[in-house]
Amino acid sequence: MISRGAVRSACIVFLLFANRLNADGMKHKLHVSEFGTTQGGDSIGRFVLTNDRGAVAVVISYGATLVSLRMSDRMGRAADVVLGYDNLAGYEYGKSYFGGTIGRYGNRIAGGQFPLGGKMVQVSKNDGPNSLHGGTTGFNKRVWAGVDRSRDDAQVLELSYVSPDGEEGYPGRLQVKVTYTLPAKRNELRIDYWATTDKDTVSNLTNHSYFNLSGVASTEILEHELVLHASRFTPVDSTLIPTGELRAVSGTPFDFRKPIAIGARINHDDEQLKFGKGYDHNWVLEKSDKPGLQLAAEVFEPTSGRVLEVLTTEPGIQFYSGNFLDGAARGKGGELYAYRAGFCLETQHFPDSPNHNNFPSTELKAGATYHSTTIFRFSTREK
Ligand code: GLA
């Protein structure tokens, strides 16, 4: 019987060895170290991806979580543009999903129940009457295995996790792989997701990064200007479950087809904004006839000049304006994260799809492969 301590030591020796490789001049290798040890005794790796343009992404093997992303402002000064914690305990006990990989099902499933293959499936409920972000212990709270897959033109981290049959109530043993890719010459972070199952199941994976493009995470994100390439959204009930309607955004505070500050209409007297305590909704992305990546969202932060473009193969995007941040979470550098100090753009299939036949299907058949891609692309501009 190999003790946990021995496994831990072996992991640390491996990590140190991996770093020796860096020191020995294998330029394209990731920098690897230990981020911490979980309460259960698992050693968690910290992987640093860098490029020739000064961008740095840091990902940990706990939750396949993006913990830091440094990008330049219009003066060339780099700053961290995502929220997170300084230590592993923050991620283990935190409830905000900062930077985590979300699965098996991103967002909500009504009553945690859905029909599949003529039977009702019951998954764990962790958000009032509903299931949220994969249930009580979602993929963001699991220990993943990390492997360096860097190439000459990009640094690449591959993370994998096997979700056993029945985990959180979901049928099928799901083998999941996520890669983070930072190209040497471009300031963009690409995330690819793959999954296969041995029984029919559902799969809807995403990343839950909170962005604050000002680089100052103590500030509100209400001045950021947003564009969403969507003319419809999926309105919700008071528990944030879609009603099934695809509603036109035209004439509502949900119309982001032209750039407008996130805060411009967030306090309007609108039932949907009340249900979400701000924006916490899924937009139906405009799809051209071409398959593949499409531009879904653009965000501009006026003081820093940073621009974020989000491209995805997914049909939907959850724009969440950080309405559950309440100033209690102490984030990186001991910063208290205020109400609406970050926003999320979660590329996804629509919430509660397994209960809506008119939504694109999230079913993954035994033997089939799920694949989804999202790119967060950064640049700067003047006003
Ligand atoms: C998603 C949900 C929100 C909230 C956050 C995490 O964006 O739609 O309602 O649960 O995750 O706090």
Cα of 54 from ligand 1 centre, angstroms: 31
In which element (H, E) is residue 308 found? Answer: strand 306-312
Spatial distance between the Cα atoms of 8 and 36, rounded to a whole number of angstroms: 11
Q: How is 96-149 classified by DSSP, letter by letter?
A: S-TT-EE-SBSSEEGGGEEEETTEEEE----BTTBEETTSTT-GGGSBPEEEE-
Atom of ligand 1 nearest to the CA of 320: 7
Task: Report the pLDDT value the prediction gives residue 35, as an integer from 0 to 100.
Answer: 98
Task: Report the pLDDT value the prediction gives residue 326, as an integer from 0 to 100.
Answer: 86
Note whether 31 and 48 are within 8 A (CB).
Answer: yes
pTM for the model stands at 0.94
Task: Report the pLDDT value the prediction gives residue 383, as an integer from 0 to 100.
Answer: 85
Residues 6+ apart with CB under 8 A from 11: 34, 43, 45
Task: Report the pLDDT value the prediction gives residue 189, as an integer from 0 to 100.
Answer: 98
In which element (H, E) is residue 234 found? Answer: strand 230-234
Spatial distance between the Cα atoms of 141 and 63, rounded to a whole number of angstroms: 5
Pocket of ligand 1 (CB under 6 A): 96-97, 107, 132, 240, 280, 318, 320, 324, 344, 346
Cα of 137 from ligand 1 centre, angstroms: 15
Residues 6+ apart with CB under 8 A from 362: 105, 202, 203, 204, 349, 353, 354
Cα of 24 from ligand 1 centre, angstroms: 43
Best of 326, 344, 347, 348 to mutate for ligand 1, by most ligand atoms within 8 A of CB?
A: 344
Return the number of other C-beta atoms located less than 10 Å from residue 27's C-beta: 10
Spatial distance between the Cα atoms of 149 and 374, rounded to a whole number of angstroms: 18
Note whether 59 and 65 are within 8 A (CB).
Answer: yes
Best of 101, 127, 132 to mutate for ligand 1, by most ligand atoms within 8 A of CB?
A: 132
Cα of 344 from ligand 1 centre, angstroms: 9
Atom of ligand 1 nearest to the CA of 96: 12
Best of 97, 101, 345 to mutate for ligand 1, by most ligand atoms within 8 A of CB?
A: 97
**Domains parsed from the chain with CATH numbers:** 4-380 (2.70.98.10)
Spatial distance between the Cα atoms of 147 and 316, rounded to a whole number of angstroms: 30
Nearest to 59 by CA among 89, 91, 28, 27: 91
Task: Report the pLDDT value the prediction gives residue 225, as an integer from 0 to 100.
Answer: 98
In which element (H, E) is residue 271 found? Answer: helix 271-276
Question: Nearest residue CA, atom 4 of ligand 1?
Answer: 324
Task: Report the pLDDT value the prediction gives residue 5, as an integer from 0 to 100.
Answer: 47
Q: Which of 158, 167, 168, 208 is catalytic?
A: 208
Question: Nearest residue CA, atom 7 of ligand 1?
Answer: 320
Question: Nearest residue CA, atom 6 of ligand 1?
Answer: 96
Cα of 287 from ligand 1 centre, angstroms: 25
Query: Is 31 labeled as catalytic in the residue annotation?
Result: no
Q: Which of 167, 281, 346, 356 is catalytic?
A: 346
Query: Is 34 labeled as catalytic in the residue annotation?
Result: no
Cα of 280 from ligand 1 centre, angstroms: 7
Cα of 335 from ligand 1 centre, angstroms: 21
The torsion defined by the Cα of 225, 349, 113 and 238, in degrees rounded to 10, comes to: 20
Which residue type is seen at 203? Answer: S
Atom of ligand 1 nearest to the CA of 276: 9
Note whether 36 and 59 are within 8 A (CB).
Answer: no
Best of 96, 107, 205, 210 to mutate for ligand 1, by most ligand atoms within 8 A of CB?
A: 107
Atom of ligand 1 nearest to the CA of 108: 8
User: Which portions of the chain are predicted below pLDDT 50?
Assistant: 1-2, 5-26
